[in-house]
Amino acid sequence: MSASNITKRAISEELELLLGESLSVLDHGFIRVIDYMGNDAAIVQAARVSYGAGTKSISEDAGLINYLMMNAHTSPFEMCEIKVHVKLPIFVARQWIRHRAASVNEVSGRYSVLSKEFYLPNLVQLCYQSSHNKQGKGAELSPEQKACVLDMLRTDAEQVFAHYTTLLALQNTEQREQLTESGLTRELARINLPLSTYTEWYWKIDLHNLLHFLSLRASPHAQYEIRAYAEILFDIVKRWVPLTHAAFVNYRLEGGRFSKMALEVIRRLLAGVSVTQETSGLSKREWENLCRLLQIKI
C-alpha cells in the first residue's frame, strides 16, 4: 500500500480490492462499490462499547455477531455503511426504491440526455402469468411466441428512442431569440421512454437495512431482474463482512420464524401426534410455509 493510501480507519481487505470495479448485471447494468464504512470488527466494537472492550478473537467476534443476529439487535449493524453506483432498468429501480431507509441520488432526464439503452429480457424469462400467483411466472412461452415478444419489445423501444432523439433535435424556425433555440425541453422529451430504459443512481445504505433488502430481493420469490442485482450485493456483503454474512445466512436467509401456533404444531409432531392442516389451526398458506421450513410432507 502506498503512503498516499495509508488509512487509520477500519477496512475490509477483500472489499478494498473491489472498489471502483464494475460488476455486470443483466444486459447493460452494473454495480460498482464507491465507498464503505466499517467491517465486522466495527460491529463488534459498537456492541461492546458498554464494556469498553475492543476486538477480541475471531471466534469470539463470530459468537457475538451470531448473538446479535439471532436476537435482532440491529443497531450495531447500522454502524457499517456502503455506497454503490448502480445502473438498472427503470422498472427495477421502482421496485428497489421501495426500500426507503437509504440515500439516493439518481441521474435526471431534465438535465441530461439519456442514453439509448434499454433492457431486453432473457428468453428463459418470457413466461405466462401464473394462474395462482399474481406476482409470479407460469409456464414458458413457445419458441415462436418468445421470438415475437422479444421482437415487439425491441421494436417498440427503438421507435420510442427514435422519437426521443427527434424531439431533442426540434429546431426553432421562428428565431425570435438572438441565440437559436433547439429541441423540446428535456423534461418533456423523456416522458414516452419505456420502463425498460436504463437509469443510474448512487445508493448509500447501512448494513442492517441492506440485509433487510437482501432478505426480500435475494429470495427466490423476488422478480428475476431485481434478484440479479441482489445476488451481486449478496456477494459484496460476503466479501465486506464475512462473519455477518455467515450469521445472516444462518439465522435469517436460511433460517425461519415460527408463530406461537406453529410452535404448538411442532411440539405436537415431536410428541408423535398426527396433525393436519385442518387440525393445526393454521391457514393454508401458514401450513404450507411450515411444511416447507421443516422440509416434511404431512
Query: Which residues lie closer than 8 Å to 226 by C-beta, 6 or more apart?
Result: 92, 95, 96, 217
Q: What is the pLDDT of residue 178?
A: 58
Per-residue pLDDT reduced to its tens digit, 199-254: 999 999 999 999 999 999 998 889 999 999 999 999 999 999 999 999 999 988 88
- CA 222, distance to chain mean position in Å, is 10
DSSP 197: B
Instruction: Tell me the mean pLDDT in the region 102-116.
Output: 93
Q: Is the pLDDT of residue 271 over 60?
A: yes
Burial 260-275 (b: 16+ CB within 10 A, else e): eebeebeeebeeeeeb
Per-residue pLDDT reduced to its tens digit, 151-163: 999 999 999 999 9
90 vs 289, which has greater pLDDT?
90
Q: Which residues pair with 37 in a beta bridge?
A: 81
Instruction: Tell me the mean pLDDT in the region 102-117.
Output: 93
Q: What is the pLDDT of residue 296?
A: 81
Residue 193 identity: L
Name the grid cell of 223. Answer: 422478480
Q: What is the pLDDT of residue 1?
A: 45
Window from 6-20, 31-45, 121-135 with minimum mean pLDDT = 121-135
Q: What is the pLDDT of residue 56?
A: 61
Q: Is the pLDDT of residue 27 over 70?
A: yes
Please say whether the beta carbons of 183 and 200 come within 8 A.
Answer: no
**Percent of the chain's residues with pLDDT above 90:** 60
Q: How high does pLDDT run on average in the chain? A: 89
Q: Is the pLDDT of residue 11 over 50?
A: yes
Q: What is the pLDDT of residue 213?
A: 96
Residues marked active site are found at 217
DSSP string, 92-145: HHHHHTT--SSEEEE--TTTSPPPS-B----GGG-EEEPSS-TT-EEEEPPHHH
pTM (two decimals): 0.87
Q: Is the pLDDT of residue 135 over 90?
A: no
| Most confident listed range (30-39, 64-73, 123-132) | 30-39
Q: What is the pLDDT of residue 298?
A: 64
HSE-up (13 A, CA, CB side) for residue 238: 8
4 vs 102, which has greater pLDDT?
102
CATH of domain 9-119+198-255: 3.30.1360.170
Instruction: Tell me the mean pLDDT in the region 288-292.
Output: 85
Q: What is the pLDDT of residue 128?
A: 83
132 vs 192, which has greater pLDDT?
192
Q: State the span(s) of the chain assigned CATH 3.30.1360.170.
A: 9-119+198-255
Q: What is the pLDDT of residue 5?
A: 66
Instruction: Tell me the mean pLDDT in the region 267-286.
Output: 88
182 vs 42, which has greater pLDDT?
42
32 vs 128, which has greater pLDDT?
32
Q: What is the pLDDT of residue 179?
A: 60
Q: Is the pLDDT of residue 197 over 50?
A: yes
